[in-house]
Chain A
Amino acid sequence: MPTNQGFQDNTPAVIMSSKQSLPAPKSVDTQSVLKRLQSELMCLMMSGDPGISAFPEEENIMSWKGTILGSTETVFEGMEYKLSLSFPTDYPFKPPKVKFETACFHPNVDAFGNICLDILQDQWSSAYDVRTILLSIQSLLGEPNISSPLNTQAAALWSNQEEYRKMVLKLFKPAS
């Protein structure tokens, strides 16, 4: 078939040039991570979701800083929390490590800022992104999972929302 032949004639040049430009396997892997993180950044900046934001740290796109604003009509209303997100080289197949940088008095956040959220552990899916992670954490603030708390004191106090709000205000230290 002449037509088919013609098509195949065109391809070897492409294959060769791309092979020559291919660096070591490891950095190709990183390249696809970078590409995905760049498109996530574009997406985040264009979406303009109220109450969440994130941006890579200087000179390292594998490590981001994010902020979450406590939702209205929750005990976290008006509080701004800073988080760090650090992406593994096999992102998005593995979830990023996400931690609160600002102390957060919450049943599912421990004293070091570690978060217990299923989508950041065994329920992770490579279709999730920074935006869905931050929105999920924002929802988690208002709807904690009381049955398996990291912070038992917070879990015990949750039923008394008025006292809880006082505690949140008292323990809140804005990050410098």
Chain B
Amino acid sequence: MASGVGESITSSSTQFQSSSASSSNANNDAGSFECNICFELAQDPIVTLCGHLYCWPCLYEWLHRHSRSQECPVCKALIQKDKLVPLYGRGKTTKDPRSNPMPGFNIPNRPAGQRPETAPSRGSNHFPHHGFGSMAGSFTFSAAMSSFIPEFFSVNGFTNGARFGAATNFPFGFSNSIHGGHAHGFVHPPTHGQQADSYLKMLFLMIGVFVILTLIWA
């Protein structure tokens, strides 16, 4: 009885969290990307099969030190470790020591993504068979792009590591160059608060651009 009450209440509180603005971020959508354990923007984000988002260190600590059965803190679904899906945003693959809430407690690496076979390519085989999931994957993809349309990008600006690492505006510039037809589409780097959020947006944008390009060149 009481647990039933707890569950129904939890679902309403989740709705509330996603509809309320985060304290550090003026964006109303930020709550959708908050860890369900620490309530901060998820670090080393990982998603359970039931769809609940956590920081990997937070979820690991819950599963290994405190949960009696391996269950999702939000919906109590059973969690299988090999069914966890990591979320790879852009440019954030290095491990950040600050994301570890328990420095004395050794948290293993986040489980890697499972990648189904690449769809059999029809006709041209321009894209290397690497995932989007890793830094290397995105870079290879970018490199492939630049070889198609080198006139849109100065090679210097492209391989400039600092620019890439600081705030990659490539997708914006790129989409501008497609739709607007000019190469000077670089926008100013987002402010610190927006930056984490824009990584997620960029991921979706990248996928969108990829789909469009596949259609064009297929």
Residues of A within 8 A of B (CB): 1-11, 14-15, 18-19, 22, 25, 28-29, 32, 35-36, 38-40, 42-43, 46-47, 90, 92-94, 117-119, 122-123, 125-129, 131-132, 135-136, 139-140, 143, 145
Chain B: residues with Cβ within 8 Å of the partner, total of 50
A43: which of B17, B36, B66, B68 is its contact (CB, 8 Å)? Answer: B17
Nearest-CB residue, chain B, relative to A21 = B98
Nearest-CB residue, chain A, relative to B66 = A93
Q: Which 9 A-B pairs have the closest CB atoms?
A: A6-B161, A7-B165, A127-B73, A125-B73, A93-B66, A25-B104, A119-B6, A139-B5, A2-B159
User: A11–B142 Cα gap in the complex (Å)?
Assistant: 22
Write out the residue numbers on chain A whose beta carbons fall within 8 Å of the beta carbon of B3.
118-119, 123
Check: B194 CB closer than 8 A to any chain A CB.
Answer: no
Check: B145 CB closer than 8 A to any chain A CB.
Answer: no
User: A20–B16 Cα gap in the complex (Å)?
Assistant: 37
Nearest-CB residue, chain B, relative to A6 = B161
User: A72–B109 Cα gap in the complex (Å)?
Assistant: 50
Given A123-B3, A127-B73, A127-B74, the answer on whether A1 and B103 have CB atoms closer than 8 Å is no
CB distance from B215 to the nearest CB of A (A): 26
B38: which of A2, A35, A125 is its contact (CB, 8 Å)? Answer: A35
User: A15–B100 Cα gap in the complex (Å)?
Assistant: 13
A-B contact pairs, 17 of them (CB 8 A): A3-B139, A3-B142, A3-B161, A15-B97, A28-B101, A28-B103, A29-B102, A36-B40, A43-B17, A93-B37, A119-B6, A125-B10, A126-B73, A128-B73, A132-B9, A132-B13, A143-B2
Contact A6–B164 (Cβ < 8 Å): yes
B37: which of A46, A94, A127, A135 is its contact (CB, 8 Å)? Answer: A127
Mark interface residues in B117-151 (1 if CB within 8 Å of A CB, else 0).
00000000000000000011001001000000000
Write out the residue numbers on chain B whose beta carbons fall within 8 Å of the beta carbon of A35.
38, 40
CB distance from B29 to the nearest CB of A (A): 16
